[in-house]
């Protein structure tokens, strides 16, 4: 079982392959729909250093504010990544992200972006909100909390042994494409349909 510390570098990421099980530790930044729009609309230099060589987690977390002003992630399972398909490759290229974490996989444009810039898609376990929230050890800072609200804000977090699977790598491979193809063949044979 591989461990990966974030931020990381291009060579490490390019060595990952589809099907690798990885445990991530270190800095991750969260972002979903509002964050992606905002990041592509203009270069956000205040956030850029946190994105460089790190990964973005597609999640709308439930976050508790503690009496001392700090925050704790209460539930944090991945959300569907496909919604960020139009923006993801650009966000990766512009900010030097080394990957994204989400669920359901992404499309051709992102796959191409992963190859070009040296990044991967990490698939988290959908629905595992409690296990994954426990991997979030600390909230470092947060951007756009007022404007976007808790689920859509960009939370800079520190994770420990966050379990993910590489399902799209920087070589242009996609586990999603592979499984889709294999299961399509099986479906055809179960339905005795021609090719």
Partner 1 sequence: MWQEQTLTETFVEIIARASTQLPPDVVEALRQAKDKEEPGSLAQKALDTILRNVELAGGAWQPICQDTGTPLVWIHHPVGVSTRMLTRAFTEAVKQATARQLLRPNAVDPLTEKNTGNGAAPGIPTVHCEEWDEEDLEVHLILKGGGCENVGAQYSLPNSALGADRNLEGVRRCVLDAVHKAQGKGCAPGILGVCFGGDRGSGFVESKRQLLRRLDDRNPIPELDALEQRLFKEANELGIGPMGFGGKTTVLGVKIGYLGRLPASYFVSVSYMCWANRRAGARISPKGEITWLD
Beta strand ranges found along the chain (DSSP E): 2-6, 21-30, 55-57, 62-65, 71-75, 99-102, 120-123, 136-143, 154-168
37 is catalytic: no
Q: Quick check: 34 binds partner 1 (CB under 8 A)? A: no
* Window of 45-53, 106-114, 127-135, 153-161 that interacts with partner 1 by CB under 8 A: 127-135
Q: Of the candidates 54, 110, 167, 173, which one interacts with partner 1 according to CB under 8 A?
A: 167
Q: Of the candidates 93, 127, 149, 172, which one interacts with ligand SF4 according to CB under 6 A?
A: 127
Query: Taking CB under 6 A as the criterion, which residues in 69-88 touch ligand SF4?
Result: 77
- The neighbour count for residue 145, using CB atoms within 10 Å, is 15
Q: Of the candidates 5, 19, 48, 147, which one interacts with partner 1 according to CB under 8 A?
A: 19
Paired tokens of 187: 């479906």
Residues contacting 91, CB < 8 A, separation 6+: 36, 39, 40, 51, 56, 84, 97
Interacting residues with partner 1 (CB under 8 A): 19, 21, 60-62, 74-77, 79-80, 103-105, 123, 125-131, 134, 163, 165, 167, 175-176, 178-180, 182-184, 186-187, 190-193
């Amino acid at each position: 079982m591989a461990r990966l510390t974030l931020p990381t570098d291009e060579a490490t990421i390019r060595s990952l392959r589809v099907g690798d099980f990885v445990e991530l530790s270190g800095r991750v930044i969260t972002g979903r729909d509002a964050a992606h729009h905002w990041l592509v609309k203009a270069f956000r230099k205040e956030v850029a250093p946190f994105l460089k060589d790190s990964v973005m987690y597609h999640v709308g977390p439930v976050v508790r504010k503690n009496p001392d002003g700090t925050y704790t992630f209460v539930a944090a399972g991945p959300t569907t990544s496909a919604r960020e398909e139009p923006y993801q490759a650009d966000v990766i290229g512009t900010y030097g992200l080394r990957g994204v974490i989400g669920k359901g996989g992404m499309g051709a444009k992102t796959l191409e972006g992963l190859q070009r810039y040296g990044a991967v898609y990490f698939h988290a376990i959908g629905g595992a909100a409690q296990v994954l929230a426990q991997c979030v050890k600390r909230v470092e800072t947060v951007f756009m909390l007022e404007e976007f609200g808790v689920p859509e804000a960009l939370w800079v977090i520190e994770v420990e042994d966050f379990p993910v699977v590489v399902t799209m790598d920087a070589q242009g491979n996609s586990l999603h494409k592979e499984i889709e193809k294999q299961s399509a063949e099986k479906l055809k044979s179960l339905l005795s349909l021609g090719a």
